[in-house]
């Protein structure tokens, strides 16, 4: 409009470009829904889960992710809405007693899912890094990435029956999440200390019954 109004001021400006010049397609696409590539094989490669407390930021990030996927030639299935998670708290209004007057508070976590198919893992990594770099604030992302191997990968993994047998040795049965390698070293120190020494008359070898189970 502005160009139209200023046009008649000079005669030289007749050669200027038409007022309703078409925007470049990539810019024009921003005004429309994100485009999708059609998957060829339909092999899922990456599941991107986005979650946020705010719908606007979440939608913006999803939109951005889909557009980025389109320009990277990645087939993506559109935005899937996952059931929202509502966490509620009820607290008394006052700081002391008056239990009858309470208030409710809630926090709603909204989730969206984008699935990527038929893409090279390197491209998926690139896409994820790009999303992370230009992330909208207040949106969390979690990606499950799958990599497909060639047929016969089992032979290269060095898995044998004896290996599996070693994995569940009963000596580790007493170890839990709190017991670490440091604990094992400490156990050794304690058992070797003077206080914990078993008299030779009662030593496990002579008793016979106290043999270690291996």
Partner 1 sequence: MFPTPLLQLSKKHPIGIFINARVLRDQMKREAFAENEQLRQALRYISQNTTLHPRQRAQAQLQLTTMHAHTRSTQFKNRCIVAGKGRGVFRDFRMGRYQFRLNALAGNLPGVKKASW
CB of 122 to partner 1, least distance (A): 34
The residue among 33 and 85 lying less far from partner 1, judged by its C-beta, is: 85
CB of 144 to partner 1, least distance (A): 24
CB of 9 to partner 1, least distance (A): 52
CB of 50 to partner 1, least distance (A): 15
DSSP, res 198: P
The residue among 150 and 174 lying less far from partner 1, judged by its C-beta, is: 174
- Check: CB of residue 63 under 8 Å from CB of residue 73: no
The residue among 78 and 204 lying less far from partner 1, judged by its C-beta, is: 204
Q: What Rg do the C-alpha atoms of the chain give, in angstroms?
A: 32
The C-alpha atoms of residue 62 and residue 161 are separated, in whole angstroms, by 46
The C-alpha atoms of residue 53 and residue 99 are separated, in whole angstroms, by 29
Count of C-beta atoms within a 10 Å radius of residue 3: 13
- Check: CB of residue 46 under 8 Å from CB of residue 143: yes
Biggest CA-to-CA distance, the chain:
118
CB of 179 to partner 1, least distance (A): 5
CB of 185 to partner 1, least distance (A): 9
The residue among 78 and 138 lying less far from partner 1, judged by its C-beta, is: 138
The C-alpha atoms of residue 56 and residue 174 are separated, in whole angstroms, by 50
The C-alpha atoms of residue 73 and residue 176 are separated, in whole angstroms, by 46
Q: Which residues bind partner 1 (CB under 8 A)?
A: 53-54, 87-89, 91-95, 103-109, 138, 174-175, 178-180, 182-183, 186-187, 190-191, 195-196, 198, 202, 204, 210, 212-213
The residue among 103 and 149 lying less far from partner 1, judged by its C-beta, is: 103
The residue among 53 and 130 lying less far from partner 1, judged by its C-beta, is: 53
Separation in Å, CA 108 to CA 31, 76, 87, 89, 132: 29, 26, 6, 12, 23
Terminus-to-terminus CA distance in the chain, angstroms?
A: 87
């Amino acid at each position: 409009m502005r160009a139209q109004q200023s046009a008649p001021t000079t005669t030289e400006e007749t050669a200027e470009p038409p007022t309703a010049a078409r925007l470049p397609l990539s810019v024009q696409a921003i005004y429309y829904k994100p485009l999708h590539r059609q998957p060829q094989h339909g092999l899922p490669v990456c599941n991107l889960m986005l979650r946020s407390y705010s719908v606007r930021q979440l939608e913006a990030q999803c939109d951005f992710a889909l557009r980025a996927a389109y320009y990277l030639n990645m087939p993506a299935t559109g935005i899937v809405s996952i059931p929202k998670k509502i966490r509620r708290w009820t607290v008394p209004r006052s700081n002391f007693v008056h239990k009858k007057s309470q208030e409710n508070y809630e926090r709603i976590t909204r989730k969206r899912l984008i699935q990527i198919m038929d893409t090279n893992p390197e491209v998926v990594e690139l896409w994820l890094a790009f999303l992370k770099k230009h992330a909208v604030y207040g949106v969390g992302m979690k990606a499950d990435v799958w990599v497909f191997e060639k047929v016969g990968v089992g032979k290269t993994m060095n898995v044998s029956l004896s290996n599996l047998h070693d994995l569940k040795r009963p000596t580790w049965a007493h170890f839990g999440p709190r017991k670490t390698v440091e604990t094992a070293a400490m156990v050794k120190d304690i058992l070797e200390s003077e206080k914990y020494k078993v008299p030779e008359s009662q030593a496990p070898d002579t008793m016979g019954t106290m043999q270690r189970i291996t």
